[in-house]
A = this chain, B = another copy of it.
Amino acid sequence: MSTPSSLESLIEALRCLPGVGPKSAQRIAYHLMQHDRAGAQRLADALGQALLALRHCRRCNTFTESEICERCLSTRRDAGLLCVVETPVDMNMLEQTHAYSGLYYVLMGRVSPLDGVGPAELHLQRLLARAADGIVREVIIATNFTNEGEATAHALSEMLRNRGLSVSRIARGVPVGGELEFVDSGTLAQALRERRQLAG
């Protein structure tokens, strides 16, 4: 009886936000309707606008408002290097290092059997086609060092090497500034195993 239907619909609709359950949805709805109607209006508009404008870059698969994103169109990037990341956030993190001037491919996910995401669901064929353009000479896999990221990297490197492409993986080890005392033993073991010969 008590909750107006438009409020109930809003609470229900808020459940599409990741990590928002029935209780938080209710709290958020009350907050917006009581304290931030201007914000709610902006959010409604921004959602509508993004749904209309955003699509995936035909080359790198990231979000863009054009057919092909600015970065892929840039002539100042090294088109011979293709870095594969899970998400646009990861791409931004790599850009912020200013240590990479090649192009990207954004998977928009990772292999995750538990969530029913296999190589097919990730459309890895699109990446293979992209990497086999004859210009790319090295594919750098920069998926996360989580179980799922590693599984993705493994599947990818198999597929890419079968096509005769040169494949690398970003390095894993003790973080810069890291103290051995505070690094987990898995990382330390990897850092030992993947140690580099120092020039004498």
A: residues with CB less than 8 A from B are 1-7, 9-10, 12-18, 26-34, 36-37, 39-54, 62-65, 69-71, 87-89, 91-92, 95, 108-109
User: A13 CB to closest chain B CB, in angstroms?
Assistant: 4
Looking at A9, A12, A47, A89, the one whose CB has the most chain B CB atoms below 10 A away is A47
Residues of B within 8 A of A40 (CB): 16, 47, 50-51
Residues of B within 8 A of A45 (CB): 13, 44
User: A133 CB to closest chain B CB, in angstroms?
Assistant: 21
User: In the bound complex, how far is the Cα of B19 from the Cα of A14, in angstroms?
Assistant: 14
Which of B5, B47, B62, B109 contacts A10, CB < 8 Å?
Answer: B47
User: A58 CB to closest chain B CB, in angstroms?
Assistant: 14
